[in-house]
Structure 1
Amino acid sequence: MLNLNMDRLGEEIYNLRKHYKMSQKELARGICSQAAISKIESGECFPSIDTLYLISIKLRVEVTYFISLLIQERNGYVATTIEMIDKLSTNKQYDEIFEITNFERSNNLKLYGYQYEQFISWNYYLSSYYLGFMDYLDVIENLKQLLSSKNLLDQDNYQDLKIQNSIAAIYAENKEYANSYKCYEEILSKTIYIDSFQKFRIKVMYNLSKVYTLDQKYREALNVIDDAIDFCRKLESFYILGQLYYQKGVCQENLDINENEISANYKNAIFIFELTNQRNYIKHILEKKNEFINLNDLKL
């Protein structure tokens, strides 16, 4: 017999309510009493299915997502699988991602909630593309279907934006720069009030600058890079800050900007990579951009 995880359900309802800047009274309106919401969030009581359904509408998730949270074994399986695929994706181990997602798609994914079903399909199509099993246009069409078939109440789904980022990258890799720009600009027009989205936004800006660079639009790339660097400073974050300074130097080289300024950006990149212990990046700069670097100025 499966144990119901009411604490986990209550915690997630609380987090989503805070995400949408909603009070308990606002969430309860038209559904139940504020006291009932308080007890649900604290894990003291289990809402009826009707109540859970109405709460899910207000919090813009499918009710199946909440049900999956209630079932401890299922939720643990989903979390573990997502973590495994994310790690494989970071290491670009697409063959293993394909095997896992292909197996998962043979199961009834609807039992695990819309978000997990979307996550598995997204990574299945991505791995199929990078392994050469599927044409890029077919992959993009399938990824777009994952977005268009979403719950209409779920307007600003973080995972949707990650999928759009993948679509933009595939367009850029196939030199469809105009379509890539459109995707990135759509992502940057959104705001989601969770901490991880801020880092994701910096990554999108960095990706957009790389597409501008590929398209030889170096001025546009520099504008985006400067905005991203300012954003990092506001967040007091080193996240891909070194890569941004490096990319800035690359763009400046193509615009024949003063060599001292180019050198300063490569040195800034090295300084950040040293702080974040990313030695491979430092080695790359010293090998590829040595004409701009005076080793006597560096303390490595």
Structure 2
Amino acid sequence: MTSVQRTIGTRLKKLRQKKKITQQELSRNICSQAEISKIENGKNSPTIELLQDVAKKLRVPVSFFFMEEEEIEEFHRIDHQITQLMRAQKHAEILKIIPQKLKNTTAEGTRILLRYYQLINEVEMKKIDYRTCISQLLKLVNDKLILEEYFLIYVRIQMAVAVLYTNNKEYMHAHNIYKETLKLDYVTDDYKKLMLKVKYNYIRNLIKLKKFSLVIAESTEGINESNKMQDMSYLGHFFYQQGYALEQVCASSEKIKEAYTQAYVVFIATENKAYKEILDEYLFELMYFTID
């Protein structure tokens, strides 16, 4: 067993387990389950073709299996740091730290991530207009390999473009991007969670387009997917969107109350005080009960 075999095997096993994919699922249409097991245990060295197929299925670049651990940690550390600053709306601070971080890294995935954050914060600070931002974001994902090797970044960038279109009332442009993005193969739990976020934003845009029948269908699908995954991140929002659409199509009061009450219960469970208060204050007559 060489050190390279051991490194590839260890990284493959860790990544597969993190993404909650079984050896059998990973090997399907690629190789035998036994081969995956031998690679993970460092007994076999994969061919470059096999490694490419495995990397494609796991949505990581082939280079991931040879990267220094520091590079992988750097990506997640930067993503977490800037996400926290975004939530605090510290756009100026983000723009201040990004140039230095770009100088300090040569890792392609990290550089794409930093440019993505730079562009969306520049548009927030009105340093560029939304059309320029969209154009530059799309350039970042213009290469087909970005979709194959950096799936999460690709989807986040597509979603950012669609949100910019929605925020600037170009709803059909956003609609088309969401439809294409939702067609992608979300094979792991992490990807499926991201898919729920895409669907939530897609439904927001459908509401702007007044496609209420489609809102009902898509929100129902979102509810079913959330329940299947046992994920409550967007469950309350899907019920809320469903309730709103049911109102618009003059559905029965029972259906409307059912949707809004379900949303209310989920918002309480997830401590989403803002949406609970909206329902308490404005929609209490359209629910079966409220809690003080």
Aligned-residue offset at 1:141: 1.0
Indicate if the aligned counterparts of 1:286 and 1:293 stay in contact, CA closer than 8 A: no
State whether structure 2 residue 271 is matched by structure 1 residue 266.
Answer: no
Equivalent residues in 2 for 1:178-189, closer than 5 Å: 178-189=172-183
SS in 1 for 2:148: coil
- Paired with 2:152 and 2:275, the residues of 1 have a C-alpha distance of 29
Indicate if the aligned counterparts of 1:253 and 1:262 stay in contact, CA closer than 8 A: yes
Aligned-residue offset at 1:153: 8.5
- Paired with 1:147 and 1:153, the residues of 2 have a C-alpha distance of 7
Paired AA for residue 93 in structure 2: E
Paired AA for residue 57 in structure 1: Q
Equivalent residues in 2 for 1:182-197, closer than 5 Å: 182-197=176-191
Aligned-residue offset at 1:152: 6.8
Aligned-residue offset at 1:292: 2.2
Equivalent residues in 2 for 1:117-196, closer than 5 Å: 117-149=111-143, 151=145, 154=148, 157-196=151-190
TM-score scaled by length of structure 2: 0.80
Summarize deviations over 1:277-297 as a string: whole Å, max 9, x none.
Answer: 222321121112233246xx3
Q: Which moved more, 1:221-230 or 1:14-23?
A: 14-23
Summarize deviations over 1:161-187 as a string: whole Å, max 9, x none.
Answer: 121111111111111111111111111
Q: Which moved more, 1:252-261 or 1:8-17?
A: 8-17
SS in 2 for 1:277: coil
- Paired with 2:128 and 2:195, the residues of 1 have a C-alpha distance of 28
In the alignment of these two chains, the number of paired residues is 280
SS in 2 for 1:148: coil
Match of 1:12 in 2: 11
Match of 1:248 in 2: 242
Aligned-residue offset at 1:234: 2.2
Match of 2:26 in 1: 21
Match of 2:269 in 1: 275
SS in 1 for 2:153: helix
TM-score scaled by length of structure 1: 0.78
Is the alpha carbon distance of 1:73 and 1:121 closer, same or farther for their aligned partners in structure 2, counting shifts above 3 Å? same
* Unmatched segments (≥5 aa) in structure 1: 28-33
- Paired with 1:273 and 1:266, the residues of 2 have a C-alpha distance of 10
Match of 1:30 in 2: none
Is the alpha carbon distance of 1:74 and 1:228 closer, same or farther for their aligned partners in structure 2, counting shifts above 3 Å? closer
- Paired with 2:168 and 2:129, the residues of 1 have a C-alpha distance of 11
Matched residues, percent identical? 20
Is the alpha carbon distance of 1:281 and 1:11 closer, same or farther for their aligned partners in structure 2, counting shifts above 3 Å? farther
Indicate if the aligned counterparts of 2:166 and 2:174 stay in contact, CA closer than 8 A: yes
Q: Of the candidates 278, 282, 288, which is equivalent to residue 284 of structure 1?
A: 278
SS in 1 for 2:26: coil
- Paired with 1:153 and 1:209, the residues of 2 have a C-alpha distance of 23
Q: Of the candidates 217, 228, 237, which is equivalent to residue 234 of structure 1?
A: 228
Match of 1:88 in 2: 85
- Paired with 2:43 and 2:131, the residues of 1 have a C-alpha distance of 50
Summarize deviations over 1:100-141 as a string: whole Å, max 9, x none.
Answer: 32332344x4x22x2212111111111111221111111111
Paired AA for residue 156 in structure 2: K
Q: Which moved more, 1:6-15 or 1:175-184?
A: 6-15
Report the RMSD for the aligned CA atoms in angstroms. Answer: 3.4
SS in 1 for 2:177: helix
Paired AA for residue 261 in structure 2: K
* Unmatched segments (≥5 aa) in structure 2: none
Summarize deviations over 1:250-278 as a string: whole Å, max 9, x none.
Answer: 22222233333322222111111122222
Paired AA for residue 84 in structure 2: K
Aligned-residue offset at 1:189: 0.7
Is the alpha carbon distance of 1:222 and 1:144 closer, same or farther for their aligned partners in structure 2, counting shifts above 3 Å? same
Is the alpha carbon distance of 1:64 and 1:175 closer, same or farther for their aligned partners in structure 2, counting shifts above 3 Å? same
Is the alpha carbon distance of 1:72 and 1:205 closer, same or farther for their aligned partners in structure 2, counting shifts above 3 Å? closer
Indicate if the aligned counterparts of 2:186 and 2:195 stay in contact, CA closer than 8 A: no
